[in-house]
Amino acid sequence: MPFSDESDDGVGFTPPLPADDRLWRHPSEMAAARPGSEESSSVPPGPSPASGRPRGRSMSFASAALVAGIALTLGTLAVVGTLMGNSGPSDRFAVDPNAPTGESALTELPAGATDGIVRISVSHGTTDTVAGIMVLANGHIITSADALAGAERVLVTTSDGSVFTAVIVGVDSVTDIGVLDIEGNAHPTIPVANTADLTESGTTLVVEHNGADQAMAVTAGNINNIAAPLELPDGTTMHGMISSTLTRIPQSGASVLCSSTGSVAGLVTNRNRSDRTVYATPITYALHIAREIIAAGTARHAWIGV
């Protein structure tokens, strides 16, 4: 039914109820004093006492609070970092004090970092001692192929002092990688470093077994090149080698290159070594060659010719 407008006809203006009797306010009424105070309702609006205070003191307090908060946060992080940095023990290995450089400082490696590095005694008329890397818990070890040349007997001493007679699985003369096998299925293996994370001028450690004693020597050095070519006397070149300059000349024919955290970064070759600069086959490539030798007794190499 349509609405009628007759009810609106003739209706004049009706003033609103007093402000205290209404639930709404016109914007012009909002500046008045709080309801219930008749005296203040007649006072014209003006700035509140707080609005007249200077802001400089408040900003100073805020700045001081911000600086204090940052200092507290940095202090907390420093304490946490110190605790995390000292969370694990370290084994200390003495550097030979009779080394040509005359250094007798100690080099530190994390506990257990060298458990997978073994001592290899190779007999061929005389006995040579070199280092090897336990790459599989079932007893497969990689070392220098040159060190195994003409071997009549090979003995492996593991980190717990156990001695095993090793079988030569195969050697690759191109890369100077040889693979041995010993009995057992629960040997500790090495932690593998990510060679992509190595940087030039980074710290390296070379671990070697030297002579007839059981001592393990650790020599510090710095990386020169993470993809160095090693020119050999026969005119061939070993590519992609990690070159490092050490604080002393290694005495062993085969040693292990480690990162500063103790992870194995490569296997050091004794080929064309000059002074204190050594060259190592990156561990990732050495493991690739080892897998091929274990699977087929030899490694395959791609050659490009014309």
Which residue positions in the chain have pLDDT lower than 50? 1, 3-4, 6-7, 10, 33, 35-53, 56, 76-106, 305-306
Residue 292 lies in a domain: yes
Q: Tell me which amino acid residue 285 is.
A: Y
Q: Is residue 236 part of a domain?
A: yes
Cβ atoms of 221 and 247 within 8 Å: the answer is yes
Whether 238 is in a domain gets the answer yes
Q: How many domains does the chain have?
A: 1
CATH at residue 223: 2.40.10.120
Do the domain assignments include residue 185?
yes
Q: How far is Cα 264 from Cα 257, in angstroms, rounded to an integer? A: 6
Q: What is the largest CA-CA distance in the chain?
A: 133
Q: Is 113 inside a domain boundary? A: yes
Tell me the residue range of the domain where 264 lies: 109-296
Q: Which of 35, 295, 270, 42 is nearest to 144 (CA)?
A: 270
CA-to-CA distance for 280 and 228, rounded, in angstroms? 10
Residue 54 lies in a domain: no
The DSSP element (H or E) to which 76 belongs, if any, is: helix 56-85
Exposure letters 84-119 (e unless 16+ CB within 10 A, then b)? eeeeeeeeebebbeebeeeeeeebebeeebbbbbbb
CA 213 to chain centre: 33
Alpha-carbon span 284 to 230, nearest angstrom: 18
Is 142 within 8 Å of 133 (Cβ atoms)? yes
Asked whether residue 245 is domain-assigned, the answer is: yes
Identify whether 131 is part of a domain.
Answer: yes
What 3-state DSSP class applies to 101?
A: coil
Q: What is the distance between the alpha carbons of residues 102 and 223, in angstroms, rounded to a whole number?
A: 21
Q: Kindly report, residue by residue over 136-147, the tens digit of the pLDDT.
A: 999 999 999 999
Q: What is the pTM of this model?
A: 0.63
Which residues, 6+ apart, have CB-to-CB distance to 242 below 8 Å?
Answer: 195, 198, 204, 223, 225, 226, 228, 257, 265, 266, 279, 280, 281, 282
